[in-house]
Structures are given as structure tokens and as C-alpha cells.
Amino acid sequence: MSEQDIELDVLAVYSHPDDAELTAAGTLLKMKSLGYRTGVLDMTRGEMGTRGTTERRAGEAQEAARIMRLDVRLNLGQPDGHVWVTEEARTALVRIIRTHRPKVILTAHWDDPHPDHANTARLVRESARLASMRRYDEEAGHAAVQMPALAHSAYSRLVAPSFIVDISDFIEEKMQAIRAHASQFHNPDSTEPQTRISEQGFLNQLEYRMRYFGSLISVAAGEAFYVREALNVHDPVALLTRPMNIYS
């Protein structure tokens, strides 16, 4: 099976190269360690970024994919800074979902302050539903799929998470995947303009965030997600007796 048609268990869909790494790399690494097939779909090539070039960012994304041991890394080629919920974008995303048939999609939150992130979340929700409708884009020849479960990163908004993934064993690999995007983060020798994420303390702040979410479930580090739909719990005893915050 080629990368073009490999079926995935988990697909992370985010707006720009490095977004998946910042928000969900630990979860993707953990899922891979558990034997699941994982992938990332970048909506844009990050061509409007203040730092780096499109070509360099593409190479950085592939290096990060190697570190995260992804089965697939794709790019939808939407215009950076102009991600909109259009019929063209929905159809393109539906075809990706039908080709790779992910069981779970991780994506941004629809109230993220970056318009590309918010619109990506809306595109994912609409496209995931449309991918399950047999007659939508029927002429393309891709069979309809069961609608994947959706989980939104609790990252840029104060959102009470539905669940937190213990990524304690994957902190260093997550940070390596983030640092693979070297053009975007702090470099004292860089002559490019400074951005919020290239400030010297940004990666430390990111680690504090991971440690905070980890503390909520009494582990070293965590990544938080919000699920809009009610969760169907098969075994409440198994769920509720997992180690949790002893001070709750």
C-alpha cells in the first residue's frame, strides 16, 4: 500500500506546518507507539509566515514527520492566511478523508484567534460529515466512510478539556519535532523579524503548558483535547479508576 492510499487510524489536520507539532505531536507519537497508523495534513504551506521560505518549511515538515514516525504527511495546498470554508476546500478535504479513512481526526478549536485555525476546524467538521454522505462528490469515485471522531486541541483558548493524553514518555521527541521547524523558533543568529513563537522563552512556555495539563491527571506531561459530542464510555470503572489528580 502506497502513502497515497494508506488507511490511517489518526489524522491530525492543522493549518500550517508546525501546528500539529505544537499541539498534538505527543499524542501522535504515543498513538504510533501503540501500533496505530498516524498522519498529518497541513492545510497550507505556510507561505505567509514571517520567517523562513516555503521550500525550507517543506523540508522542515518532512524532518518533523520522520521524528514523529508518521505514516503519511500531506499538504492540501490552501492559501496561507486565506483558509475559508469553500466548496473547493470541502471537496478536497472530503477526498483526503475518504482516501485515508481515519478513525479519529485531531484539529484546532473553532474559536481559535487565528482565522486559519478557526476555519480549519470548521472545514474539518463539515468535511467529516460530508465524507459520510454517499452522494456527495459521488463522481470522484471515492466511497463514503463512517464519520470519524473529532477532537479539538485545547491550545489557544481557555477550554475545559474533555480528556488529556499522557505524553510523559514522549516529551523529548515532541520537542525534537517542534525544533525541526528551525526557521520558526528562536535562533540568536537569525536576522529575520521576531515573532511571538520565535521569542526566546516560547518553547519554555510550551513545556509549562504540557506540565500543567499533565498535573491535572497526575503525570509529567499531557496534551488536552475538547470533544463537542458526548463520549460513549464502554467501561466506566476502567475509565474512572485510572490514576487521576489525588487533590480533586
Residue 1 located in a structural domain: no
What does the alpha-carbon distance between residue 131 and residue 124 come to, in Å, rounded to a whole number? Answer: 10
> What φ, ψ does residue 110 adopt, rounded to 5°?
-70, -10
Classify residue 43: in a domain, yes or no: yes
Question: Is 158 a domain residue?
Answer: yes
Range of the domain at 140: 10-240
Residue at 124 is within a domain: yes
pLDDT tens column, 57-97 = 899 999 999 999 999 999 999 999 999 999 999 999 999 99
pLDDT in tens, 208-222: 999 999 999 999 999
Is 2 among the domain residues? no
Q: Is residue 188 part of a domain?
A: yes
When divided into structural domains, the chain yields a total of 1
**Which CATH number goes with the domain that contains 62?**
3.40.50.10320
Region label for 137, one of left (φ > 0), alpha (ψ between -120 and 50) or beta (otherwise)? left
Query: Is 245 part of any domain?
Result: no
Q: Tell whether 247 is covered by a domain.
A: no
pLDDT tens digits, 154-207: 987 788 999 999 999 999 999 999 999 877 676 776 767 677 666 778 888 999
The C-alpha atoms of residue 120 and residue 107 are separated, in whole angstroms, by 8
What does pTM read for this prediction?
0.92
* Structure-model confidence comparison of residues 239 and 156, the more confident one: 239
User: Is the Cβ–Cβ distance between 45 and 80 less than 8 Å?
Assistant: yes
**Cα atoms found within 13 Å of the Cα of residue 7, Cβ hemisphere only:** 4
